[in-house]
Structure 1
């Protein structure tokens, strides 16, 4: 993927050192899109930051998003204009059910999510026991976004608490996306 760059987009509160995104950054040299405020995510601020990072380098970017980062990718794609052409594709892991009352109250200003078809290939990955979103909700987002859907079974929020380590299964999904393979289960 040397002609490309891989950008990781953590969700609310960022991704700690043992999160698979942080491990991928260390192992593979991927670049985190650092947000100005991980505790109070403002959709407009986060979108502007992603736009700045995407435009800072002419190489196409693979977007690897977790949780709220998934909703960021969809919102950015709907509002990025020509910059969206720099996105090669997206791995969207554990999108939260932002329209659920308890989640919306924790993360105000993000509901409803953008639901337009993404202009690049994408895979939505979900767990069957994610406390922040049901798998059928993630599957519907995948359908709305024109993305493939992949279930990892019972893995919680697919984060550091899920005990995934380097999460080879997820990296294989990114590689399949890069090679043009579409995965669904």
Structure 2
């Protein structure tokens, strides 16, 4: 599948991925990409965030590819049963937080944890770092197994965000392109 054949929905986590974040850069670079906007990026509200994601998938005219970072990753797991069957073709999941990390966020909805453990109804890749301060690698690997996601070991990469030196993140874009090619 080519990027021109699908709607790429960028699903940030808490704080919304700033201007130097790879998600923002991909959104600007990929012509069919758009961000799933939330009313409040600093208050994780399971019902509101899920409803917005479902509405964006519903509004898409082409097959959907989800690209999530941090709290956007478990949001996809929460929303998956509510998404139109067959419309989402794949998900590229990066740097999931642990449940403990989400519970530590001020104003995080307690309903956001525990994370769903059912397999996702579409192919997915979960990229995890060995040095992510928000999720130990073994917890990310356990979630990948539960969700049926292919696990990609990103090595010593921190939280895979601008603060960890992953602004443009060309390696991630190549991995994303590889996932699309296999669809």
Q: TM-score, normalised by structure 1?
A: 0.91
Q: Choose which of 59, 63, 68 in structure 2 pairs with 1:65.
A: 68
Tell whether the 8 Å contact from 1:78 to 1:116 is kept in structure 2 after alignment. no
Distance in 2 separating the partners of 1:167 and 1:72: 22
Distance in 2 separating the partners of 1:164 and 1:58: 31
CA RMSD of aligned residues (A): 1.3
| 2:46 counterpart of 1:43 | yes
Distance in 2 separating the partners of 1:10 and 1:103: 14
| 2:22 counterpart of 1:23 | no
| 2:104 counterpart of 1:105 | yes
Secondary structure of the 1:45 match is helix
Cα offset, 1:176, TM superposition = 1.4
- In structure 1, list runs of 5 or more residues that go unmatched: none
Query: What residue number does 2:4 align with?
Result: 2
CA spacing shift, 1:55–1:170, aligned 2, 3 Å: same
Secondary structure of the 1:124 match is strand
Query: What residue number does 2:93 align with?
Result: 92
Larger RCO of the pair (alpha carbons < 8 Å, separation 6+):
2
Distance in 2 separating the partners of 1:84 and 1:16: 31
Residues 50-77 of structure 1 show CA distances to partners (whole Å, capped at 9, x for unaligned) of 0111111221111000000000111111
Distance in 1 separating the partners of 2:178 and 2:119: 20
Residues 23-68 of structure 1 show CA distances to partners (whole Å, capped at 9, x for unaligned) of 1111223211001110111011100000111111221111000000
Query: What residue number does 2:58 align with?
Result: 55
Cα offset, 1:3, TM superposition = 1.7
Query: What residue number does 1:74 align with?
Result: 77
Cα offset, 1:105, TM superposition = 3.0
Q: Choose which of 152, 165, 168 in structure 2 pairs with 1:166.
A: 168
Tell whether the 8 Å contact from 2:91 to 2:124 is kept in structure 1 after alignment. yes
After TM superposition, which residue ranges in structure 1, 4 or more long, deviate above 6 angstroms?
A: none
Distance in 2 separating the partners of 1:25 and 1:73: 18
